[in-house]
Amino acid sequence: MAATEFLETPQGRRLAYHKSEGTGPTIVFLGGLKSDMEGTKAVHLEAWAQARGQAFLRFDYSGHGESSGTFEEGCIGDWHQDTVAAVSELTKGPLIVVGSSMGGWQALLLAKAMPERIAGMVTIAAAPDFTEDGYWASFSDEQKTALDTVGHVELPSDYMEPYVITKRMIEDGRQQLVLRDALDLPFAARFLQGTADTAVTTETAVRLLDHASGNDMRLLLVKDADHRFSDGPCLGLIENAVLEVMGTT
């Protein structure tokens, strides 16, 4: 496997990445909260793109994987800055953006920041606005008080160790919301969602479909698929969705 490379961002963060050269459009994989670029979906898509001779980029946000910083220091806005830096410095031309969970929110933020670069989008269990609609909306009075007094709360996860959610993450998240104002996706978009997902509900997926505007958007609900969405059939569905938004099916 190729050695990890690193990018210094304008904000002084050091991002780990793997980039494969090839024909365009470049596929960019955006991972989820506390995930890294060695996850099943990212590595599978990279190998698939390489077999096609297609350019591909995967990277770790700051505080994730091999990148600098700690998770507790970061927030949605920081990781958006990381995404913009990685895309701006490491890719050229049209992009196919594939975003998983929090990476789906990052994909939507990227679409707002540089719509001219995006040729197509695929989201997998996209979790837009989850800091507000998921975390803050479900916090007890005691947890909200802890954010002010301690600065963070810990939340259990079905998939890894507890998440440490900071006051900064909640407050910054309010500056990054995408489901309150107009969300134009002027390119082919495919939203994939498992019905057995315990982290992101099908209602969230439908809300995104209803809220966004665009001429070519589809939501695919997969019965009994969970949040990982990474078994063989699900990986095949991701491949097919990428081909669809590229218009090569």
In this structure, of 28-42, 109-123, 159-173, 207-221, the range with the lowest mean pLDDT score is 159-173
- State the pLDDT at residue 161: 75
24-50 pLDDT tens trace: 899 999 999 999 999 999 999 999 999
Cβ atoms of residues 32 and 100 within 8 Å: yes
Alpha helix ranges (H) inside 66-201:
76-90, 102-113, 130, 137-138, 141-149, 167-173
Please give the share of the chain, as a percent, with pLDDT higher than 70: 98
* For residue 249, pLDDT beyond 90: no
CA distances from 11 to 7, 31, 70, 78, 84 (A): 11, 20, 15, 9, 11
- State the pLDDT at residue 157: 72
Is 5-128+178-246 a domain of CATH 3.40.50.2300?
no
- Identify the bridge partners of residue 100 per DSSP, sorted by sequence position: 124
Over residues 220-245, mean pLDDT: 94
Q: Where are the domains of the chain?
A: 5-128+178-246
Tokens read off for 81: 């800055």
161-183 pLDDT tens trace: 778 899 999 999 999 999 999 99
- Residue 77's closest CA among 66, 88, 85? 85
When pLDDT is cut at 50, 70 and 90, the band that residue 159 belongs to is: low
Q: Which helix (H) or strand (E) holds 207?
A: helix 202-211
